[in-house]
Amino acid sequence: MSDFVPFAVPDIDESEIEAVVDALRSGWLSTGPKARAFEEEFAAALGGDVHAVAVNSATAGLHLALEALGIGPGDRVIVPTHTFTATAEVVRYVGADVVLADIDPSTYCIDVDDVRRKLSDRVRAIIPVHYAGMPCDMDRLLELARERNIAVVEDAAHAFPTRVGDKLVGTLESDCTVFSFYATKTITTGEGGMLVTRNDKIAKRARVMRLHGIDRDAFDRYRSERPGWYYEVVAPGFKYNLTDVAAAIGLQQLHKSQRFFERRTALARQYDEALAGLPLRLPPRPVSGQHAWHLYVVQLTDSARIGRDELIAGMYERGIGCSVHYIPLHLQPYWRDRYGLSPADFPNSQRLFERCVSLPLYTRMTDADQRRVIEALWALLG
């Protein structure tokens, strides 16, 4: 169909195209001055006072965070089941084990009571996910983590700009926060991510490990006395650096991020108003805080006359792309079989999965596009 309303499209215009051409003409394609500027401007957007370490994906950033925290074999990390597999796979990268927790039906984020039930001496960290851009109950989670001396790494892939109370995610008291700039996220570099921390040691370790374990400080220290080709490898690091070409896109996206946020919020409000009256549970929203509206997830109620799969198929027939976030990890073969999991262990996530639909939400969506989505929903469910 020529006028298909897709689930999501990146918002790229001439400014990103010019910035990329500029980066290409500069002759510096890999990590250089633009990646550095992107880190500085991203940290400034969070209010300064944090280290921002640019990486080539949020998955890489989460991996570096766990590595810097010294998590390894024998350790356990608690992760919500209702997330993308990247949140959990990084725990396996460092040889630790995943403990899945259910979600709180009032936020769709990790259930702090279930986290408490699943704590043991071996649990070293918790990775909450600000699902859809909705803030987790960070006050209770951070209090619990502090009480038990457990690290917190926020998966903020959906959460730029989410606020807990009036504080932006990235500025809370957790050990580390990791943002994603994947193509569908609220700002994008195509592929990319940012590890944010107030902890000097974590930032230093992440900077060394994102580029082959090369110690830049040693390099700088000796530069005056050593020839230009000299460097020191202090660990078997990774190849997780962000390119200047990607950072050039990121800088432009960052400059537009307030407008992007305002458009997403306006679209979410318009959905709220137009969908009231349908057999749908509208997305939860923060009591105090700010939703980033990365996703607009509705849940079919028991009175709906069709099921979730039928609704998505009906929308597709009407030229509208929808999605499901997520098939929970407890249903995925690897996680299910490795840890012997069943849906009965995660009733809230299972219930959400069976009924949820993510509606199209992207900044280039016009009011006319959105009206088509709303009319199709009324035709199928009204």
Ligand X SMILES: *Cc1c(COP(=O)(O)O)cnc(C)c1O
- What is the closest distance, in whole angstroms, from the C-beta atom of residue 93 to ligand X in the complex? 12
Beta bridge partners of residue 70, listed in sequence order = none
- Cα end-to-end distance, the chain, whole Å: 25
Question: Look-up: residue for tokens 């990390």?
Answer: 77
How many helices and strands in the chain, by DSSP H and E? 14, 13
Member of 35, 53, 67, 84 binding ligand X (CB under 6 A) = 84
Instruction: Kindly report the three-state secondary structure assignment for every residue of 317-355.
Output: HCCECCECCCCCHHHCHHHHHHHCCCHHHCHHHHHHHHH
Chain residues 204-223 in contact with ligand X, contact rule CB under 6 A = none
By CB under 6 A, is residue 54 in contact with ligand X?
no
Distance between CA 183 and CA 160 in Å, rounded?
14
Is 185 tagged catalytic? yes
Structure tokens at 131: 């699902």
The three-class DSSP label of residue 356 is strand
By CB under 6 A, is residue 57 in contact with ligand X?
yes
- What is the closest distance, in whole angstroms, from the C-beta atom of residue 55 to ligand X in the complex? 9
Interface segment toward ligand X; rule CB under 6 A; list 70-78, 154-162, 201-209, 218-226? 154-162
Classify residue 344 as exposed, middle or buried by CB count within 10 Å of its CB (0-12, 13-18, 19+).
Answer: exposed
Member of 87, 107, 177, 186 binding ligand X (CB under 6 A) = 87
By CB under 6 A, is residue 363 in contact with ligand X?
no
Strands 176-180 and 151-155: parallel
x/- mask, ligand X, residues 158-177, rule CB under 6 A, reads: x-------------------
151 vs 157 by CB, closer to ligand X = 157
Interface segment toward ligand X; rule CB under 6 A; list 56-64, 223-231, 236-244, 269-277? 56-64
104 vs 215 by CB, closer to ligand X = 104
Which of 34, 185, 239, 256 is catalytic? The answer is: 185
- How far does Cα 19 stand from its chain's mean position? 25
By CB under 6 A, is residue 296 in contact with ligand X?
no
157 vs 251 by CB, closer to ligand X = 157
Member of 16, 111, 114, 155 binding ligand X (CB under 6 A) = 155
Active site residues: 185
User: For binding to ligand X (CB under 6 A), which residues are involved?
Assistant: 57-59, 83-84, 86-87, 129, 155, 157-158, 180, 182, 193
